Chain A
């Protein structure tokens, strides 16, 4: 196996999305609107770091160049990252953070359920474990989107604004490229068309319950899966990779 293997890029997408998202929500720890949210957000970051490590270790194994999760997380620049653009978007207010998590979970959970049926037993094992955690995240963020959307006028307006900002970053997760297609045909990954349907159902039901309006624009950003990122990722990685870069011979 090698980095030519489509599964290398595919597992990087999953691992990088988890790690970048964990990095983003870690920024909230100690600064959340209420103590229970400090605990909740740290808990979710912890789950995502754990899942990110599993996906990246597997990516390293597939690549076969001796790189582990840390080598991949800390020693690649933005162009080599394969996370979805949604995950690297700035936190905004707490509502925007919750909306970003909700839109991500709505894709990630059904994907994990599909991947747990993968013909690659390593992929299936990670997906099965991750799905248990992701289903809790999915339920929590769905509840929060409904409560805040159907809360006060201010909370409603903030959630609508968050949805409008983040909406163009959702298309990329649901649109299959060559790698998705190849792995789907091989029985390693589920068909994204099926995931899109589940995503649409869940998102539209939740937004209705939250009294929020789904944006009409069909314009979607893309590029994260191919390593073309927004300006935000470079700063995120500069912070995350600082110690590894500044002390290259060190052990931690």
Chain B
């Protein structure tokens, strides 16, 4: 997932009467589940909102490499190291084809990178939390990738063709990521030592609430949702997906023997769902604003990579130009 609080630049959803003929025809296609392709006519706000949403998603994949890569050189076995490398490589690959999907809307990857590095564009709040132990790596796979899948599975059916197709591919890999995370925790919780189990509980305590925040603010405060849902670039409400995530995750935590860090969590027979405690929304808003535990480090790391790599990119470009100039000279001589 990794797109939160995406602005739509609209104050309210237009009625059919308020729409122009083009807008009506567009909405009819969306309502009929016909995919919108890059060259089709689309409302300017739809295009802008999609660029924000897809690029936010792409940026999240890129920044999301950092907390996990923090443990690459300390992975406890060669197999775990290989799995983690494969996972991070997948995330970078997701970033790559999401940037490509965004480019179909008329924006370049360099512009989007610039927006990330200047702090103009956002990425998911979750990647601003630190990975303090090896158990965090498993917990991220289980909870963070789990929450992402919850949001991305419906997006496979979203109205914009390139995005929906990217999601189909992304979802396949994310579900492998979630399973490997849970597998790592099963090993530690069910077969490991007391110290390992404590490490897992500590990681779970730290990641539980931030994972619930990944779904965005509560529906009553989610100002841009109605328009995104009418456009079918958001298919379920934040609270709906959050509830689904809690219902799915609680039994998984119980199987691992982990305690949910929420004294108010209980099964509600009548609703057929788990009730859970109030989320500290001030924390989410603070992290989104840039004041989370690792916001500054994450952006600084990305900026450093980009700035330090300038000579490398320039070198490759210069060589490519020389090569094509030589080819032209040869062609002209022949």
A201: Cβ under 8 A from any B Cβ: no
A185: Cβ under 8 A from any B Cβ: no
Say yes or no: A42 contacts B195, CB within 8 Å. Answer: no
Say yes or no: B89 contacts A94, CB within 8 Å. Answer: no
Say yes or no: A31 contacts B78, CB within 8 Å. Answer: no
Say yes or no: B313 contacts A35, CB within 8 Å. Answer: no
Residues of B within 8 A of A46 (CB): 82, 85-86, 89
B74: Cβ under 8 A from any A Cβ: yes
Residues of B within 8 A of A156 (CB): 315
Say yes or no: B73 contacts A27, CB within 8 Å. Answer: yes
- A-B CB contact pairs (8 Å), 17 listed: A26-B85, A29-B85, A30-B66, A33-B305, A33-B306, A34-B309, A35-B96, A147-B319, A150-B319, A150-B322, A156-B315, A240-B74, A242-B74, A243-B75, A243-B134, A250-B195, A251-B196
Say yes or no: A31 contacts B187, CB within 8 Å. Answer: no
Say yes or no: B312 contacts A250, CB within 8 Å. Answer: no
Minimum distance in angstroms from B70 CB to a CB of chain A: 9
Say yes or no: A252 contacts B314, CB within 8 Å. Answer: no
B-contacting 9-mer, from A49-57, A104-112, A131-139: A49-57
Contact partner of A249 (CB less than 8 A), chosen from B75, B81, B193, B301, is B193
Contacts A93-B308, A150-B322, A155-B315: A35 and B95 contacting too (C-beta < 8 A)? yes
Contacts A34-B309, A151-B319: A252 and B69 contacting too (C-beta < 8 A)? no
Say yes or no: B92 contacts A38, CB within 8 Å. Answer: yes
Say yes or no: A243 contacts B81, CB within 8 Å. Answer: no
Interface string of B93-114 (1 = CB under 8 A from A): 1011001000000000000000
Interface residues of A in 143-194 (CB under 8 A from B): 144, 146-148, 150-152, 154-156, 158
Interface residues of B in 305-326 (CB under 8 A from A): 305-306, 308-320, 322
A1: Cβ under 8 A from any B Cβ: no
Interface residues of B in 257-297 (CB under 8 A from A): none
Interface size class of A (residues with CB under 8 A): 35 or more
A4: Cβ under 8 A from any B Cβ: no
Minimum distance in angstroms from A151 CB to a CB of chain B: 3
Interface string of B34-68 (1 = CB under 8 A from A): 00000000000000000000000000001001100
B331: Cβ under 8 A from any A Cβ: no
A139–B314 Cα distance when bound, in Å, is 21
Interface residues of B in 178-221 (CB under 8 A from A): 184, 187-188, 191-193, 195-196
Contacts A29-B85, A250-B196: A147 and B315 contacting too (C-beta < 8 A)? yes
Minimum distance in angstroms from A32 CB to a CB of chain B: 7
A43: Cβ under 8 A from any B Cβ: yes
Of residues B66, B73, B184, B304, which shows the largest number of chain A Cβ atoms within 10 Å of its Cβ?
Answer: B73
A14–B210 Cα distance when bound, in Å, is 44
Please report the number of residue pairs spanning A and B whose Cβ atoms sit closer than 8 angstroms: 153
B118: Cβ under 8 A from any A Cβ: no
Say yes or no: A251 contacts B187, CB within 8 Å. Answer: yes
Say yes or no: B196 contacts A247, CB within 8 Å. Answer: yes
A29–B311 Cα distance when bound, in Å, is 18
A69–B304 Cα distance when bound, in Å, is 35
Say yes or no: A148 contacts B312, CB within 8 Å. Answer: yes
A45–B72 Cα distance when bound, in Å, is 10
Residues of A within 8 A of B74 (CB): 239-240, 242-243
Say yes or no: B78 contacts A19, CB within 8 Å. Answer: yes
Residue of A nearest to B190 (CB): A251
Of residues A19, A49, A240, which shows the largest number of chain B Cβ atoms within 10 Å of its Cβ?
Answer: A49
Contacts A23-B73, A251-B192, A252-B187: A33 and B312 contacting too (C-beta < 8 A)? yes
Contacts A240-B73, A244-B76: A29 and B315 contacting too (C-beta < 8 A)? no
Contact partner of A49 (CB less than 8 A), chosen from B62, B78, B316, is B78
Residues of A within 8 A of B96 (CB): 35-36, 39
Residues of A within 8 A of B312 (CB): 33-34, 37, 94-95, 148, 155
Residue of B nearest to A43 (CB): B89
Contact partner of A30 (CB less than 8 A), chosen from B69, B75, B81, is B69
B29: Cβ under 8 A from any A Cβ: no
Say yes or no: A152 contacts B314, CB within 8 Å. Answer: yes
Minimum distance in angstroms from A204 CB to a CB of chain B: 20
A5: Cβ under 8 A from any B Cβ: no
Residues of A within 8 A of B195 (CB): 247, 250
Say yes or no: A26 contacts B309, CB within 8 Å. Answer: no
Contact partner of B77 (CB less than 8 A), chosen from A31, A144, A158, A252, is A252
A95–B315 Cα distance when bound, in Å, is 10
Say yes or no: B88 contacts A42, CB within 8 Å. Answer: yes
Say yes or no: B309 contacts A49, CB within 8 Å. Answer: no
Minimum distance in angstroms from A230 CB to a CB of chain B: 18
A130: Cβ under 8 A from any B Cβ: no
Residues of B within 8 A of A94 (CB): 308-309, 312
Minimum distance in angstroms from A111 CB to a CB of chain B: 22
B80: Cβ under 8 A from any A Cβ: yes
Minimum distance in angstroms from B72 CB to a CB of chain A: 5
A45–B308 Cα distance when bound, in Å, is 21
Residue of B nearest to A243 (CB): B76
Say yes or no: A38 contacts B65, CB within 8 Å. Answer: yes
A65–B55 Cα distance when bound, in Å, is 53
Apart from A35-B62, A38-B92, what are 19 other A-B pairs with CB-CB below 8 Å? Answer: A26-B81, A29-B89, A30-B69, A30-B88, A30-B301, A32-B305, A33-B306, A42-B89, A49-B81, A49-B85, A50-B82, A52-B78, A70-B79, A152-B314, A152-B318, A155-B314, A243-B76, A250-B192, A251-B188
